[in-house]
Amino acid sequence: MKKNYTLSLFTLLISTILYAQDVVFDFETSQDLLGWEEAGGNIGSASIIAEGLAIDWDGSTTTNRRPRIKTLTANVNASIQKYVEISIINNSSVVDRIRVNHFKGATGEDPLSAAGSNTRYTIISVTPGATESYTLDLTDSEWINYDYDGDSETDMDHIWIQLVTATGPNGPVTTDSSVDGNVIIQKISFLENLPSTERTNYTFDNTSDSEGFIGTNGITLSQPTSGEIQLDMTDVSSFPKFEQQPGFYNVNADAYKYCQVTLRNNSPKDRLNFVSPEGGNQFSGVDITPNDNTSKLYEINLNGGTNGQGVPFFTNWTGTQATWALQIVELNPEGGAPLQSAGIVTIEDITFATVSLSTKDVTQTTIKLSPNPATDHINISSVIPIKMVEIFNLLGQNVLSETNVMQRIDINSLAQGAYIINIQLVNNVRILKKFLKK
């Protein structure tokens, strides 16, 4: 018995050595810099305080400031550790982005060189004045191990953390000489896997829970009302994104090939794109009505195929996907990059479905449902007579159908949960709306 125990312990130790563990820099607990140091960008200082690693700068210079720290000994296994989670106390009123820069040592160039041709970066939006954790997906063609730094190990060693804003082409912290700054990094974790929960419906019912989403490229999120999330877009980017972070939820991309988004569009944006989670600039989209405050449901086909110019949509919407994004753009009528424009889009619901709800264009008119949530019946308010009503669950299954509807539907037979109601008017216009059965 003792011999077997010893063998098992030995096997466990060998396994621990052979299979890399998460690389965690916990500055708050260790009270140590852990190999990180100041790396320029007009940083004032990087020092350890009770809450973690404090990065400070003052307003003594008007040049572009991009305070950054670096490590030359990260010892990250880039082949399997594809995510970095950063926990910060953002005491700055201007820092709304974090860049994670890494050096392309595998190209044969000197990894210590800061030249742009030798580096790649991943960026994420952060909330000024907030204490939060943010997760970045580091997967790209250059996030790979290298052995050009002379330490005899094949790994990813040279990494920068940089504090920037969305203002200016190079992302300066600020050009206002009166603005001081302080950001405290509590923990930096390079992770192999992120735990996530399968989810196919996002309802934003809790005003303090963005359900794993962040705004990037000029989008600020707010939740003033239960049941929706507001995307306030500035004109700093042609490609504002509403992005699901890894580590929260996942979807079975092999089964769910349709994304249905209910929104109100108080902006000039006229295109909604579902962006590939794995790079390659792959996306699929649908036209949306600009400057329209009515609630409309739009469906995006994620099955693949090509657009009118023969360009493929998705080839990688497969397997289990834990990160994806919606991109809201204003197409340029003269071609080229989309236009930079500001406005507000309010998203009421996002649902992944296994089948399309309609073969026709999904549209909305002035149809209202009440009560919503409902218990035993739904009233449908419509100035146009209703020809037929179909109710679908979130798997796309038809659970109730009625013809010659007199604007009142009995739903006592339905289980509690969320449903989509497909209302066909006598003029053959179809309207899709979501409701909850209590």
Judge whether 198-342 and 368-437 match in fold.
Answer: no
Average pLDDT over residues 161-185: 69
Q: Using only the alpha carbons of the chain, give its radius of gyration.
A: 25
C-alpha 103/C-alpha 109 separation (Å) is: 9
pLDDT score of 152 more than 80: no
Average pLDDT over residues 91-110: 83
Q: What is the pLDDT of residue 27?
A: 96
pLDDT band at residue 183, thresholds of 50, 70 and 90?
very high
Q: Which CATH architecture has domain 20-191?
A: Sandwich (2.60)
Q: What is the pLDDT of residue 161?
A: 94
pTM for the whole structure: 0.59
Interval 214-247: pLDDT, tens: 898 889 999 998 889 999 999 988 999 999 988 8
Q: What is the pLDDT of residue 432?
A: 74
pLDDT score of 175 more than 80: no
Which class would CATH give 368-437?
Answer: mainly beta
Give counts: helices (H), strands (E), the chain. Answer: 2, 32
The domain locations on the chain are: 20-191, 198-342, 368-437
Average pLDDT over residues 343-353: 91
Yes or no: say if 65 and 57 are a contact pair by the CB < 8 Å rule.
Answer: yes
Q: What is the pLDDT of residue 304?
A: 74
Q: What is the pLDDT of residue 364?
A: 46
Q: What is the pLDDT of residue 165?
A: 79
pLDDT score of 28 more than 90: yes
Average pLDDT over residues 48-60: 87
Q: Which CATH architecture has domain 198-342?
A: Sandwich (2.60)
Q: What is the pLDDT of residue 166?
A: 66
User: Omega into 373 within 30° of 0, i.e. cis?
Assistant: yes
Tell which wins on pLDDT, 297 or 415: 415
Relative to beta strand 197-198, strand 249-252 is parallel
C-alpha 230/C-alpha 412 separation (Å) is: 33
pLDDT band at residue 208, thresholds of 50, 70 and 90?
confident
pLDDT more than 90, % of the chain? 29
pLDDT band at residue 177, thresholds of 50, 70 and 90?
very low
Interval 372-412: pLDDT, tens: 888 899 888 776 678 888 898 877 788 998 887 767 889 99
Share the mean pLDDT of the chain: 81
The residue length of the chain stands at: 438
CA angle, 131 then 132 then 134, to 5°: 150
Question: Tokens 């810099």 appear where?
Answer: 33
pLDDT score of 51 more than 80: yes
Average pLDDT over residues 78-100: 90
Side-chain-side CA neighbours of 171 within 13 Å: the count stands at 21
pLDDT band at residue 171, thresholds of 50, 70 and 90?
low
C-alpha 417/C-alpha 56 separation (Å) is: 49
Q: What is the pLDDT of residue 345?
A: 97
